[in-house]
Structure 1
Amino acid sequence: MTYQPPTALPRELLDDPDMQCALAGNDFGRVFRIARERARISYSKIAAECDIKPDRVGTLARGHGRITTFEKVVQIADALRVPGHMVGLAPRPWEVDADPAGTPRAEIGPPSMRRRTVLQAATSAGLAAALPALHRPEAPRHITDAYVDRLRERTDRLRRLDKVLGGGDTYRVYLSEAQATKSLLRQASCTESARRRLTGLYAEQTQQAGWAAYDAGRTRDAVALYEESRTAAQDARDPDLYGNSLAFLAYSVTDDRRTAVAFAEDSCATITARTPATVQALLYERLAWACAVDGRATGTEKALGAARRALEDAQDGEPQPDWAAWVDDLELDIMTGRCWTELGRPLRAVPVLTSALGEFADAHARDKALYLSWLARAYLTAGEVEAAAATTSRALQLATGVASIRPRQRLTPLLDRLRTHADIGEVRQVLEQAQG
């Protein structure tokens, strides 16, 4: 029988809007307070199950301090039996093992069934909690190219949410859009041109939903959505989206570096003279990243050069798809610095990252926190401990309250490495900040 901790939150409390809001913002002090007030779960029990000092539980509940480490978020989620998706994590093992009357077994089943489960989640899990006023234009009886254009404009607008919100906030929004489009493809009457373009839009939307899933820590959901996107892009006869689906798969494969490189190489093989410049640059930089993670310096440099040439050779007025429009010289500089950091070359990484991040707006908090983590790692590799600590501190500030699991994943090993230098004042300060 699966262990049920005494701090497990009742289902009705997990459904409470106040609790959902606190969990979505990783405001665990508020979570603890609500748990005591509404479920009579004492702070001492929470402290014991979460391995937190009792006085710190009380301090957090009074609104002082934050939980910021990935490991502690996981521990709290398990102790309170909070489903992973509510705090930006992948489904926890106890969710998979739940009986039919408990948490849905979302991680069980073949890939085709997993895709169906993912695409049904938006309607079953309550999109209203994410964005209550989301309105979609009413579909006409017969879908035309003009209506597909309206849906594409809407998709482009919603994509802007990713610049300021994490996947924990946007996942259900993007998933709902993909689900609605898939329903149109199944049920609506379309012209041949409109059906092909609508299928391409569906491929685009599933890629966006997959990215949000990945950002929220739902890697298996992300892979299922990318696979769905690859099939749709092929049906739509859209080589650019097909190549991008492979690039996404390369980026999400973290446990098999050779497979990641193979996916990335296959994505670049879709490039032709007709491929837009930003798409070429995107696919090449993803190949550069896969090569860097696999320790292939020559392949990394070659791919980065190809991406740079693609942007330099772009023709004025050449149309670029909105889903690749974010790829520019600044983005490529950041990727260049990230790659050289992965390859252990701080003398190459630090100057380009420092320059690029000086132009990167703090409003894009998730991304800047992530990119600062690579700069901090490069500083550590170079032995510049104080600079690494200061950079990590800035990343922690930006990552606070962002509904994305990735900053915590990146910063936790950095903090572990910094602990060996705890005799340095700047390091002690950032370690205390991380505990706060």
Structure 2
Amino acid sequence: MTGHEPPTALPRTLLERPDVRSALAAHDFGTVFHVARAEAGVSYSAIAAECGIKPERVGTLAKGHGKVTSFEKIVRIADALRIPGRMVGLAPRPWETPADSPAAPRREFLKTSAAASLAVGLPELSRTPGGGRVGSDLPEKLRQRTARLRRLDDVLGGGDTYRTYLGEYQATRAMLRQRTYAQETGRALLSVLAEQAQQAGWAAFDGGRHAEARGLYEASRTAAVDAGDAELAGNALAFLAYQQLPSDRQSAVQIAARSCATAGPDAAPGVRALLYERLAWAHAVAGQAEETERALEAARDALAEVDGAPQPDWAAWVDETELQIMSGRCWTELRRPLRAVPVLENALARYDDSHARDKALYLSWLADAYLTAGEVEQAATVTGRVLDLSSGVASVRPRERLAPVLRRLGEHQGVSAVAAVLEQARA
């Protein structure tokens, strides 16, 4: 470890203890605080000062009451206690050495490769603030640039992409305020702004910045409505519904239904397929099997209409494989493993490992379905694949998604395959 060493930094030997590793993996920071004081002599007041938490809150957490859930606070605790990012589901922290972060070479390779591929053909734009009239061709150039930058999300998590996407959104928003343009060009710029806000909001959500994500989704919806872009307005609602799950399931279902109605029947087939599959997911999480089936059928019907016709880039990733995966996820949530397992196995066999975050997430539902079916050893094997794929990915979602699967596997610790994967998770 390099640079300033905070007074709350925990010894490596303590961090590597099985009980501490298990607590860190579960984001049980109360246990970590208790151990830090009892065995490393780090006072609660010092922890509070370094982590930006009230002293009484630290004590309450140490007694087993409450939980730390915000991305920003988890990052602050990791830095204050010098907890390597991999131990709490974060990207490697700036102070880590290569020895602290065994996944760093892989992540750096992916980032470098992605940057190199994006450098070819990425439109360079003049963003000089102040006066000057925006040409009518600029919105399309911006849209092409946004589409190219979206490819980063194929290989990197929101922890790596958020600042890039947010910068694009902020630059376009400043241009709308500071430059002059024709009315039609202004509407087109607002449409691009809505698309960029959704992209930044998704990265924020993926990186655990939920408040920022909601604000960006709301801003996107406002911009889309002002631009008269019903498709993007509908997609903004779909994002809001997705974020609402599972805390308020009925509200999420209502918002997802509104997203389909907002885009309307004249929306591009790919857009309708995307919105209906997200509606299906909301119904599934709410436990509504018949409604889930109807929404999946509507998504399949819409996808059948695509037939090679151009679709908006932000919806073009929805294809038959993605729809099969969503179907499998829905049936897993509805505890229908006989329907979920075959479709997930078939679709994920064609899903490349280079999409590490997404494949890890999707495999977690396959592991869940195997558990529901009583196939414990197979669930453990798939869980091991999830852990391998998600290692070093700057996204909080794979680890969050896997947590309940690991808890269920914990009921079968006597099975050797389960014991091995639980040890892998702790490591």
Q: Same fold (TM over 0.5)?
A: yes
Whether the 8 Å contact between 1:89 and 1:405 is mirrored in structure 2 is: no
**Structure 2 counterpart of 1:435:** 426
* Conserved 8 A contact 1:264-1:287: yes
Match of 2:25 among 60, 66, 69: 69
CA RMSD of aligned residues (A): 3.1
Letter in 2 for 1:330: T
2:323 & 2:4 partners in 1: Cα distance? 50
Which structure 2 residues correspond to residues 292-303 of structure 1 after superposition, within 5 A?
292-303=284-295
Structure-1 separation of matches of 2:211 and 2:266:
33
In the alignment, does 2:257 pair up with 1:265?
A: yes
Matched, 1:202 2:158: no
Contact 1:143–1:188 (CA under 8 A) maintained in structure 2 = yes
* SS in structure 2 of the partner of residue 314 of structure 1: coil
Of 180, 187, 195, 1:189 maps to 180
Counterparts of 1:32-431 in structure 2 under 5 Å? 33-34=1-2, 38-39=4-5, 41=7, 46=10, 54=14, 56=16, 69-71=25-27, 81=50, 89-92=70-73, 137-139=125-127, 141-254=132-245, 255-316=247-308, 318-431=309-422
- Following TM superposition, by how much is the alpha carbon of 1:139 offset from its aligned partner in structure 2, in angstroms? 3.9
Alignment correspondent of 1:116: none
Contact 1:89 / 1:216 at 8 angstroms: preserved in 2? no
Which moved further from structure 2: 134-143 or 200-209? Answer: 134-143
What percentage of aligned pairs have identical amino acids?
52
Residue identity matched to 2:126: E
Question: What is the distance in 1 between the residues matched to 2:266 and 2:419?
Answer: 54
- Partner of 2:71, secondary structure, is coil
Deviation at 1:191, TM superposition (A): 1.3
What TM-score comes out, normalization by structure 1 length?
0.75
User: Please, what TM-score do these two structures have when normalized by structure 2?
Assistant: 0.76
CA contact (8 A) 1:68 1:434 kept: no
C-alpha displacement of 1:39: 1.9
CA distance in 2, matches of 1:83, 1:203: 34
1:233–1:239 CA contact under 8 A, matched in 2: yes
Secondary structure in structure 2 of the residue aligned to 1:143: coil
**Conserved? CA contact 2:233–2:263, under 8 Å:** no
Deviation at 1:170, TM superposition (A): 0.5
Q: Structure 1 residues 79, 69: closer, same or farther in 2, change over 3 A?
A: farther
Equivalent pair of 1:166/1:212 in contact (CA under 8 Å): yes
TM-fit CA distance, 1:271: 3.9
Q: In the TM superposition, what is the alpha-carbon distance from 1:75 to its structure 2 partner?
A: 7.7
Any idea what SS the aligned residue of 2:323 has?
A: helix
Structure 1 counterpart SS, 2:16: helix
Structure 2: how far apart are the matches of 1:260 and 1:284?
13
